A and B are shown apart, each in its own frame.
Chain A
Amino acid sequence: MKVGSSVNHDKITASQFMFAIVCYVESFALLTAFSLTVTHQDTWIAFLLGMVGALPMIFINLYLIKQYPNQNLIQINRVVYGKPVGSLISVLYCWYFLTLCSLNLRDTGDFLRMSVMSETPSIFIKIPFLVLCSYAVLKGLKIIVRYSTVFAYIGFFALILTTILVSRRMNYHNLFPVLTTSPVKLLQCINMVMTIPFGTSIFLMIAPAVQDQKKVKKSFLTGFFVGALVILIVVIRDIVVLGKISEELVLPSYETMCLSGVTETFQRLDILYVILLVILEYFKISLLFYATSVAISQLLSLKSYKPLVLVIGALILVYSFIIFPSSIVHLAVTQTTIPVLWLLFEYIFPFVTFLCTKLRARKEVPAIKS
């Protein structure tokens, strides 16, 4: 299979790409407990610094997209590192996307079981969810991102509505004292934020599908900033509304939405959180599922990713059961080990790829001059 060829020929607009990034980043706004338990009322500072820390890697990703037009991450690895090393790194990325997808499926299943379907075994929640995601993946990237604009606007609407409705419960003193967290804890949270919500290497898999490649940079940056801003607002809102209790809760945003209400008839907007979580998680899981399928198909030089979709779906499902024995272990590992491990995929590999690309460009310039 030629390096330039692809298993998928779907094209998306720059606007769809931007909203895809917004939805992807925004979906993490619903699951901020992993950071609140570490840095407490300073979490918003960690998110702000994490946003700044993620920018160099976004620019590196944009540089790679520009240097290797119409080539996704797997193809870039093969060009930069050669077939053996490139394939090994691509295998690691396939495992990375598969793990992210399974983790998100697990989170969704656990949340729905905890909040609305407590008597239903999680397998019967995950299977229909995954069937829907598989259908979207089989239909192609165009279908997955088609409704990203609508999903993003639903998220904005829910954020604005709930923020207005809980405004009377806000106590800005909950943000103080500022920067009492130890530097190590702050660094830990910044690391978590940079790798988990702001890890955008997945978009190297779908960037080649953007019709107008000149608009990729603007769309990427705009999408990232909008999504990051949403998360920041949600974190600040949860801290000022819930105060110290936010550190003890599994789903602080859910509890904030439970508190939002106007009169006796307009209460219990937590169902809005459930709907929003399902919508955004469906989008994120579909995107990760698609990236995993395309990555595996491209690595194995298949003509199309579609025959493997359902089988990979089964693997994602079983992996979501194997990955962690319980939610407590999941939270503990997410706070201690995963930020370090994900640095490899979100920062180290892209940085090394960037250096190799720069070195190759420098070698080619003297060759051209001579």
Chain B
Amino acid sequence: MIALVIVSFCLILIFSLPYLLTDKSKYDRTVFFIFYFSIFVICLLEGGGVNLPSPILGLDELLKWLHLSY
């Protein structure tokens, strides 16, 4: 699964290159790489079997605690 994540992200970088090269803005490239590496880490953790928290389940617990659910 980790191998799949690494291969997928290599492919994502290859296919995103044309859009990054046409866009000459340094800011845009910085934003792209911040997203790229953050999501790469998340996918690696999920692929490695780490139980990542779900925001919806957290909100579900919060709303139930506030008695704001059916």
Residues on A facing B (Cβ under 8 Å): 95, 99, 123, 127, 184, 188, 191, 300-304, 306-308, 310-315, 317-318, 321-325, 329, 333, 335-341
A336-B70 in contact (CB<8A): yes
The residue from A304, A315, A323, A333 contacting B19, defined by CB atoms under 8 A apart? A304
Q: Which residues of B contact A337 (CB under 8 A)?
A: 56, 59-60, 63-64, 69-70
Which residue of chain B lies nearest to A304 when distances are taken between CB atoms in the complex? B23
Interface membership of chain B positions 42-69, coded 1 if the CB is closer than 8 angstroms to chain A and 0 otherwise: 1100100000111111011001100011
Establish whether residues A315 and B42, one from each chain, have CB atoms under 8 Å apart when the complex forms. yes
What are 11 contact pairs spanning A and B, CB under 8 A? A127-B8, A188-B70, A300-B31, A302-B28, A310-B15, A312-B35, A315-B35, A321-B46, A335-B70, A336-B60, A336-B64
Bound-complex Cα distance A10 to B42 (A): 32
Cβ–Cβ contact A303 & B25, under 8 A:
yes
A304-B23, A307-B19, A307-B23 known; A333 vs B56 contact (CB < 8 Å): yes
The answer to whether A318 and B42 touch (CB under 8 A), given A307-B16, A307-B23, is yes
The reply to whether B63 and A341 form a contact with Cβ atoms under 8 Å apart is yes
CB <8 Å contact, B57 and A324: yes
B54→A323 contact, CB < 8 A: yes
Determine the main DSSP class of A at the interface with B: helix
Residues on A with C-beta less than 8 A from B23 are 303-304, 307
Name B68's closest neighbour in chain A (CB-CB).
A340
A329 proximity list for chain B (CB < 8 A): 57
Picked from A184, A308, A323, A336, the residue with its CB within 8 Å of the CB of B35 is A308
Let me know if A311 and B42 touch, CB within 8 A.
no
Given A188-B70, A314-B9; A99-B56 close (CB under 8 Å) = yes
Task: Report B-chain residues with C-beta under 8 Å of the C-beta of A341.
Answer: 59, 63
Q: Which residues of B contact A95 (CB under 8 A)?
A: 55
A314 near B56 with CB under 8 A, answer: no
A336 touches B69 (CB 8 A): yes
Task: Across the A-B interface, give the 10 residue pairs with the lowest CB-CB distance, nearest first.
Answer: A307-B19, A337-B60, A310-B12, A337-B69, A188-B70, A336-B69, A306-B19, A336-B70, A315-B39, A311-B35
Give the number of residues in B that approach A within 8 Å (Cβ atoms).
Answer: 35
B1-44: CB near A (< 8 Å → 1, else 0) gives 00010001100100110011001010111011001100110110
CB-based A-B contact count at 8 angstroms: 91
Q: Which residues of A contact B31 (CB under 8 A)?
A: 300, 302, 308
Is there an interface contact between B25 and A340, defined as CB atoms closer than 8 Å? no
Which of the listed residues B35, B42, B53, B56 has the most CB atoms from chain A within 10 Å of its own CB?
A: B56
Closest chain-A Cβ to B54's Cβ sits at a distance in Å of 5
Contact indicator A314/B8 (Cβ below 8 Å): yes
A318 touches B56 (CB 8 A): no
A303: B residues at CB distance < 8 A: 23, 25, 28
Contact A318 to B63, CB < 8 A, known contacts A95-B55, A323-B56 = no
With contact pairs A307-B32, A310-B15 given, residues A318 and B59 touching in the complex (Cβ less than 8 Å): no
Q: Which of B36, B53, B64 contacts A311 (CB 8 A)?
A: B36
Question: B25, B28, B39, B53 — which one has the most chain A CB atoms within 10 A of its CB?
Answer: B39
Cβ contacts under 8 Å, B35 to chain A: 308, 311-312, 315
Chain B residues within 8 Å of A99, by CB: 55-56
**Chain A residues positioned under 8 Å from B56 (CB to CB):** 99, 323-324, 333, 337-338
Question: Which one, B43, B55, B68, contacts A314 given CB within 8 A?
Answer: B43
Chain A residue contacts of B43, Cβ below 8 A: 314, 317-318
Instruction: Given the known inter-chain contacts A95-B55, A324-B56, A341-B59, please indicate yes or no for A308 contacting B46, CB distance below 8 A.
Output: no
**Smallest CB–CB gap between A322 and chain B, Å?**
5
Q: Which residues of B contact A184 (CB under 8 A)?
A: 70
B68 proximity list for chain A (CB < 8 A)? 340
Residues of B within 8 A of A191 (CB): 70
Whole-angstrom distance between the Cβ of B22 and the nearest chain A Cβ: 9
> Shortest beta-carbon distance, A307 to chain B, in Å?
4
Q: Give 12 new A-B contacts, CB below 8 A, not counting A303-B23, A308-B31, A335-B70.
A: A99-B56, A127-B8, A188-B70, A301-B27, A303-B25, A304-B19, A311-B39, A314-B39, A322-B52, A323-B56, A324-B56, A333-B60
